[in-house]
């Protein structure tokens, strides 16, 4: 009889090691609102049999060897240690205020314990929601949303999983045949320009200081959190008014218009027209855009394998003092995004990070990434959620929102769409941006103005 096979520790991926550095320690907080308070025992039973707890990352400890190298070590899950139940009401004017205040506190003061796998769920019973906390070393937003949705069911078809939408848009069949040489030249040129800019941002080039700028050490400052709420139909109305427009074009147009409006309020007549405000965005590099089928993500040899597989893009928006046509914000954003799409910046940023992690170590990689964040102004992400309404253990889900722990940015923004709505979580350093609700209102009003302008443009055509 052979001896039992010894399960070896698995090295943490380079991107995972980066997120475990103290300076870049990142936890994703996903809050799930429900129609009724969660029945914790029912959720516990569902989770115990879910794909989530069958995944090796969610039943492994993060350990370090004597050289400080990080590994995943399989362990037995004690599910009760991962469930935190709070029955008392939290301070706040309403449920949204109370939950956002709780999330803001988690963003700076509650690391995950390393004596258990790096995830936990907080049940806020009085506010009918649950906060799923997962360390970024376990995976990126696409991986984690895919895994999370595998625990849910559609409201209209309780036996079916939620629809995992795609952000891709079909391209004309002959689009790649036309001007192939010119297209290759554009790719080469824009890649060169943007990769050089990316490298310079990791060294010394930085945004000009404004009233929304962060900097080194700001990741430790107290936070506030507000929610900007959009209807996807409104975003689609605006998108359809822009030739070949996308939801991301609309989002960045809204960010540009909203930040311009907020800066006018905070520092009127003090900013130069057209000043650049640079955002950092994480871009999915898997072959299939959008949410990934779990079976494919679980296959280690798949091109869509589980983990952190994203590149970094620098996405500038510009301050403008009241453009005559609100749609001009989107047109300018679209021009910038289209150029980024023609480059390989995200791919090269991923490869540069991989090279630095493997050959220079996590400390140098962390310093370079930290400098990029310090030299820019905000973080932005956009993750596609379920198209239809969903339930968990029969309890209808009313919203899905996400944010991460603090970065040196004074503003981090994360948008998640769900059943025709899109909620943008705006996490701010409250000593720099004391009024995030007003900032959220600036974004919401910007979209409504764009919707009116789009309706007028459609009626004239």
Classify residue 120 by its DSSP letter: E
Q: Is the pLDDT of residue 163 over 80?
A: no
**What confidence tier does 165 reach under pLDDT thresholds 50, 70, 90?**
low
Quote the mean pLDDT of the chain. 84
For residue range 435-444, list pLDDT tens digits in order.
999 999 999 9
Q: Quick check: is 67 catalytic?
A: no
Tens digit of each residue's pLDDT (9 = 90 or more) over 412-427: 999 999 989 999 999 9
User: Tens digit of pLDDT for each residue in 373-396?
Assistant: 999 999 999 888 888 899 988 899
Edge-first strand order for the sheet with 378-383 is: 223-231, 421-429, 411-418, 378-383, 276-284, 310-318
Contact (CB, 8 A) for 84 and 119: no
Q: How many CA atoms lie within 13 A of 341 on its CB side?
A: 11
For 305, the 3-state DSSP assignment is: coil
Q: What is the pLDDT of residues 348-375, one digit of tens each?
A: 888 887 788 778 877 888 888 889 899 9
Residue predicted with more confidence, 157 or 118: 118
> Is pLDDT of 3 > 90?
no
Of residues 52 and 84, which shows the higher confidence score?
A: 84
Q: Give the global pTM.
A: 0.89
**Position 253 confidence tier, pLDDT thresholds 50, 70, 90:** very high
Q: Which of 135, 136, 409, 414 is catalytic?
A: 136
Position 383 scores a pLDDT of 85
183-199 tens-digit pLDDT: 788 888 888 888 888 88
């Amino acid at each position: 009889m052979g001896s039992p096979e010894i399960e070896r520790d698995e090295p943490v991926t380079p991107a995972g090691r980066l997120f475990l550095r103290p300076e870049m320690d990142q936890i994703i907080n996903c809050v799930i609102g429900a129609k009724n308070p969660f029945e914790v025992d029912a959720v516990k039973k569902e989770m115990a049999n879910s794909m989530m707890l069958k995944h090796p990352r969610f039943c492994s400890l993060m350990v370090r060897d004597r050289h400080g190298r990080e590994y995943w070590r399989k362990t037995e899950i004690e599910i009760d240690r991962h469930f935190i139940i709070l029955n008392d009401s939290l301070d706040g004017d309403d449920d949204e205020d109370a939950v956002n205040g709780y999330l803001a506190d988690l963003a700076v003061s509650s690391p995950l314990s390393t004596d258990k796998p790096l995830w936990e769920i907080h049940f806020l019973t009085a506010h009918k929601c649950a906060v799923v906390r997962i360390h970024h070393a376990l995976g990126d937003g696409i991986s984690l949303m895919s895994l999370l949705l595998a625990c849910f069911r559609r409201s209209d078809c309780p036996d079916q999983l939620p629809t995992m939408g795609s952000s891709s848009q079909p391209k004309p069949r002959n689009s790649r045949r036309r001007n192939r040489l010119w297209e290759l030249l554009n790719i080469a040129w824009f890649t060169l320009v943007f990769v050089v800019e990316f490298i310079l941002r990791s060294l010394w080039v930085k945004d000009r200081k404004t009233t929304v700028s962060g900097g080194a050490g700001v990741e430790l400052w107290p936070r506030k959190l507000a929610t900007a709420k959009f209807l996807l139909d409104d975003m689609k109305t605006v998108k359809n008014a822009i030739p070949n427009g996308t939801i991301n074009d609309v989002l960045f147009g809204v960010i540009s218009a909203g930040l311009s409006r907020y800066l006018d309020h905070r520092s009127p007549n003090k900013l130069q027209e057209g000043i650049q405000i640079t955002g950092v965005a994480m871009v999915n590099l898997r072959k299939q855009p959008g949410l990934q089928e779990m079976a494919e993500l679980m296959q280690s040899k798949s091109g869509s394998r589980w983990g952190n597989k994203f590149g970094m893009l620098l996405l500038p928006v510009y301050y403008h003092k009241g453009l005559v046509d609100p749609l001009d914000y989107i047109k300018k954003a679209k021009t910038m995004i289209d150029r980024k799409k023609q480059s390989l910046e995200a791919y090269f940023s991923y490869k540069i990070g991989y090279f630095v992690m493997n050959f220079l170590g996590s400390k140098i990689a962390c310093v370079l990434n930290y400098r990029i964040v310090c030299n820019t102004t905000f973080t932005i992400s956009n993750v596609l959620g379920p198209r239809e309404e969903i339930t968990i253990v029969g309890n209808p889900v009313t919203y899905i929102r996400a944010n991460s722990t603090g970065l040196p940015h004074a503003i981090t923004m994360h948008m998640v769409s769900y059943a025709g709505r899109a909620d943008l979580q705006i996490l701010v350093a409250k000593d720099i941006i004391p009024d995030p609700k007003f900032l959220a209102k600036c974004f919401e009003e910007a979209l409504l103005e764009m919707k009116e302008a789009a309706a007028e443009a459609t009626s004239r055509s």
